[in-house]
Amino acid sequence: MYSVFGKTNCSRNNAGVGGIWWDKNHTYVNAIANELFFSTAASLANRAGGSYSGVSYLDIAKKQLAWFKGTGMIQNNSTINDGLDQQTCRNNGGTIWTYNQGVILGGLVELSRETSDKSYIDTAHSIANAAIATLAPSGILKDSCEPNCGPDGSQFKGIFIRNLLILHKASPRDSYKDFFKRNAISIWDHDRNKRNELSISWGGPFVSPANASTQSSAMDCLVAAVAT
């Protein structure tokens, strides 16, 4: 990923240089690919130390985060949209997916741990709370694609929950603990069939068939509830 770091058509903004492409055909610069790159660099800074191609993992993570903030993909209300318009390199107003709100949380926790800078935790809390307010207005997490999210979309909520748990362990909040519990109870009561299979809509009703993707995503929430 670093071999293409900072080489997209949207790699320069007022916060610095960064970013990677979503695809090998160079058609899109989006949130998830860039969050995963940031999170990977921040995690390596904690676990591996050192550098890659002469640049420290910590420096890469900081540059990537600064660039990401400069793109406008993190909106004024702290939610994160899907990506950038390839003509203007500005927020494209795309869907606010749960996983885009989640992956960055884990990366921010890693960066805070490595730097002892609590401002990264504050940013993570802002994103997490905005995501819950926007994507769980009734208290139960939901993506706009439900119940027809496809094989990848059915993983999105679990990714958010898994990273929210990382944030909660680093900086506990009762609101997160209550959120895990509320969603876990809803999954068990409304999103489970007689075979104890868990489907995509955590608020119910059960959507057949459940599969490994829906099961593992919902299990992330049950694990988070037990873990807290």
User: For the domain that residue 117 is a member of, what is the CATH number?
Assistant: 1.50.10.20
Asked if 77 contacts 135 with a C-beta cutoff of 8 angstroms, the reply is no
Instruction: Residue 180: give the domain boundaries.
Output: 138-228
Where a domain ends, among 135, 163, 180? Answer: 135
Report residues of the chain scoring pLDDT below 50.
none
State the pLDDT at residue 183.
98
Count of domains observed in the chain: 2
Pair 62, 76 in one domain: yes
Question: CB 110: neighbour CB atoms within 10 A?
Answer: 24
| pTM for this model (two decimals) | 0.96
Strand partners, 16: 13
Closest CA to 26 of 95, 86, 68, 91: 86
Cα torsion 219, 222, 223, 225 to 10°: value is: 160
| Cis? peptide before 172, omega within 30° of 0 | no
Alpha helices in the chain (DSSP H): 31-47, 57-71, 98-115, 119-135, 150-153, 156-170, 174-190, 212-227
State the pLDDT at residue 49.
82
Could you report how far apart the first and last alpha carbons of the chain are, in Å? 35
Q: Residue 95: left if φ>0, alpha if ψ -120 to 50, beta else—which one?
A: beta
How many Cα atoms sit within 13 Å of 95 on the Cβ side? 13
Pair 121, 145 in one domain: no
Q: Which residue in the block uniquely carries the two structure tokens 């800078």?
A: 117
Pair 62, 31 in one domain: yes
Where a domain ends, among 135, 164, 189? Answer: 135
Q: What is the DSSP letter of 191?
A: S
State the pLDDT at residue 113.
97
- What are the pLDDT digits (tens) for 26-56? 999 999 999 999 999 999 999 998 888 889 9
Give the total residue count for the chain. Answer: 228
Where a domain ends, among 135, 151, 167? Answer: 135
